[in-house]
Structure 1
Amino acid sequence: MKAYLFLSALAWLLMANVVANAQSAVDYATLRIRDPFILADKKTKTYYVAVNNNPSFRLYSSKDLKNWKDEGNCFRADADFWGKKDFWAPDLIEYKGKYYIWATFSGTDGKRGTSILVADKPTGPYKPLVNQSTTPADWMALDGTLYIDKKNKPWMLYCHEWLQVGDGKIVAQQLSDDLKKTVGEPKVLFTASEGPWVGPINKENGYITDAPFIYKAKNGEMLMLWSSFSKNGKYAIGVARSASGNHLGPWTQDELPLNDDDGGHAMIFKDFDGNLKISYHAPNSKAERAVIYSLKDERGRLSIIK
């Protein structure tokens, strides 16, 4: 009888655990995420994505890229944190054994910039690496992310926002090895209007740059994904190519965008089976969803497989 009761209790606990896990699992396609940046963490064999939960970031984890677990807040701003609003585009990146969130904030003066947060593990808690923007304090800047050059030096790629300069710019800024300081002056790589497919955002002819992300193609070409609005008014992903093979360019632009589903702010990663993936949000509206698709790379020519 005791053995029966024990097995019954064990079965009930196992069933309760299954139900609890099922209830905590969230289908990725239902997640309202703008600017999804997937970290495929090799140490834990787990995928992570951080989500705007102003004034904080919430973290989700997954083992299969389909079912995601809510890990709770991984960063909540203290009262003295310089960033007071926006909390946009958290890029979750591993660098030299630590984990970083690169995200966009606005201060009390309305100036937008990218700040870097740091943690010892992907789930956090994250703290400001330096309590100020890494992008220039007097610029409207956003969408900063990490790039490591051929000399193993870290750089921040980011956008000088169209609201301040009219024709949005993609900019590169070298950083110190500990990511706490800038090294030298920012270097403009290209402007939004250089994209043949790009159209103005308004009657004043503002041109947007969003979300620079460098990808080394299978044929050795250096490509950069970036987003703007096409001439038909849809948000889209552009592809730029470095003629020199160096991140400082010069950069040439593909004639057409990579997608036509009114989606953008993309990044590329490999899953744990080695398959190439692209993640972005679509459509660019109040009904946007995070999407993950397979990505084909044929001699540097990319195509999304839905």
Structure 2
Amino acid sequence: MIRKFLLFGITALLLLNCGPKESKQEEVTEVLDEEQSPFVHKPLVTHLYTADPSAHVFNGKIYIYPSHDIESEVLEDDMGSHFDMKDYHVFSMDNPVAEVIDHGAVIKLEDIPWAGRQLWAPDAAQKDGKYYLYFPAKDKNDIFRIGVAVADSPTGPFKAQPEPIKGSFSMDPAVYEDEDGSYYLYFGGIWGGQLQWFEDQKLVEGRKGPTDGIPAHEEKALMPFVAKLSNNMLEFSEKPREVLLLDKNGEPIKAGDNEKRFFEASWVHKHNGKYYFSYSTGDTHFIAYGIGDNPYGPFTYQGNILNPVQGWTNHHSIVNFEGKWYLFYHDTELSGKTPLRNIKMTELIHNADGTIQTIDPMKK
């Protein structure tokens, strides 16, 4: 979630001089006509800026749990300080072509006792009539932890637990419910996500910058983590485990292999008995994926689900609705600015051999 965004030679189409008006929830900008637009898919939400869409089907409807981008005076840096989000909204759709409903802010930064700043990409889960919102935030010491908030409805309001999940670190939580009723929480992200500041899941004193602790190019890349959740959904039932991502030779992906290595944005879905772990490659701007036989991995790299979008970051989710799969992602069509993004969706297709057809978000 850092650095400058890719321009793709279309900046002139995108500088539309119309920032958000958060208090009135007015349209932030108009979407370009289809013939003018270089984008393949249209924004789902245009009255505010949204990113990192985590989509789920609860009670026969699609619910989307994104982060909420806002204008910020914080200067842009490689730790993502300019992504200074302060609340979460929930959106719903009766089906993939239905109107998107904004259910408003369901929890705010000031409602979270332990949080200091930066409500980054969240996710959600349902169990026994309760709904759980998992979110990263920097604590009072400016270290990312993962918190949980609970609600009686998928649209909130959510009440945060007084402390973050014990043993949690880094960011980008993603929850996967397996067919046996087990829930797994995946998490992690390098650079602004601070994963490189930890060794053996303990914070290393003195590491401060985005590359402090990043392995050498020829060494194994930093990997995401996973832990099974407890029955109450509020804590880990085990010590988090490393999720191993392998190349097609069966070797761990190397830190210098920027087009394949994990950067952030974990997601897991299951198709035809196989587990798919997908993620963002960060500075090379792909949504890549691997396939495995177990929710813990290892996962063998297969290729890309999504080619680069306009904007530096990307973050996605994958959901099945009535037998079809859909990819949710974000770009910067509405603003042309790195920290002011908008969410989108499109159908995702698995090939007969289990691989996924790569999606182009920009017209060629």
User: Which one of the candidate residues 161, 172, 176 is aligned to 1:143?
Assistant: 172
Match of 1:291 in 2: 344
Secondary structure at the residue paired with 2:165? coil
**Separation (CA, whole Å) in 1 of partners of 2:346 and 2:256:** 23
1:84 matched to 2:116: yes
State how 1:17-166 maps to structure 2 within 5 Å.
Answer: 28=44, 30=46, 32-42=49-59, 45=61, 47-52=63-68, 54-65=85-96, 67-78=99-110, 81-128=113-160, 130-134=161-165, 136=167, 139=169, 141-149=170-178, 151-159=180-188, 161=190, 162-164=195-197, 165-166=213-214
When the two chains are superposed, the root-mean-square deviation of aligned CA atoms in Å is: 3.1
**Separation (CA, whole Å) in 2 of partners of 1:160 and 1:48:** 21
Output the amino acid matched with 1:301.
T
Identity %: 19
Which segments of 5 or more consecutive residues in structure 1 lack a partner in the other structure?
1-22, 201-206
Given that residues 195 and 253 in structure 1 are in contact (C-alpha distance below 8 angstroms), is that contact kept between their aligned partners in structure 2? Answer: no
**Separation (CA, whole Å) in 2 of partners of 1:65 and 1:131:** 36
Tell me by how many angstroms 1:234 deviates.
3.2
More helix by share: 1
> Which whole-Å deviations, capped at 9, do the CAs of 1:7-34 have from their partners, x for residues lacking one?
xxxxxxxxxxxxxxxx9xx961535221
Output the amino acid matched with 1:157.
Y
Match of 1:259 in 2: 306
More strand by share: 1
User: Which one of the candidate residues 264, 274, 286 is aligned to 2:323?
Assistant: 274
Tell me by how many angstroms 1:279 deviates.
0.4
> Which whole-Å deviations, capped at 9, do the CAs of 1:213-251 have from their partners, x for residues lacking one?
111123x2211111123xxx4311111121xx1112222
Query: 1 or 2 for the larger relative contact order (CA 8 Å, sep ≥6)?
Result: 2
Match of 1:186 in 2: 240
Counterparts in 2 of 1:227 and 1:178: CA distance versus 1, 3 Å: same
Match of 1:10 in 2: none
Output the amino acid matched with 1:181.
E
**Separation (CA, whole Å) in 1 of partners of 2:119 and 2:241:** 25
Counterparts in 2 of 1:240 and 1:191: CA distance versus 1, 3 Å: closer
Given that residues 132 and 151 in structure 2 are in contact (C-alpha distance below 8 angstroms), is that contact kept between their aligned partners in structure 1? Answer: yes
> Which whole-Å deviations, capped at 9, do the CAs of 1:155-208 have from their partners, x for residues lacking one?
2111164441424321111221112232232111126971799429xxxxxx75
Counterparts in 2 of 1:174 and 1:80: CA distance versus 1, 3 Å: closer
Match of 2:39 in 1: none
Counterparts in 2 of 1:277 and 1:135: CA distance versus 1, 3 Å: farther
Output the amino acid matched with 1:261.
P
Counterparts in 2 of 1:74 and 1:152: CA distance versus 1, 3 Å: same
Deviates more, 1:57-66 or 1:179-188: 57-66
Given that residues 29 and 290 in structure 1 are in contact (C-alpha distance below 8 angstroms), is that contact kept between their aligned partners in structure 2? Answer: yes
Q: TM-score, normalised by structure 2?
A: 0.64
> Which whole-Å deviations, capped at 9, do the CAs of 1:93-113 have from their partners, x for residues lacking one?
222321111111101111102
Which segments of 5 or more consecutive residues in structure 2 lack a partner in the other structure?
1-26, 32-42, 70-84, 198-212, 215-220, 247-251
Tell me by how many angstroms 1:142 deviates.
0.7
**Separation (CA, whole Å) in 2 of partners of 1:209 and 1:74:** 28
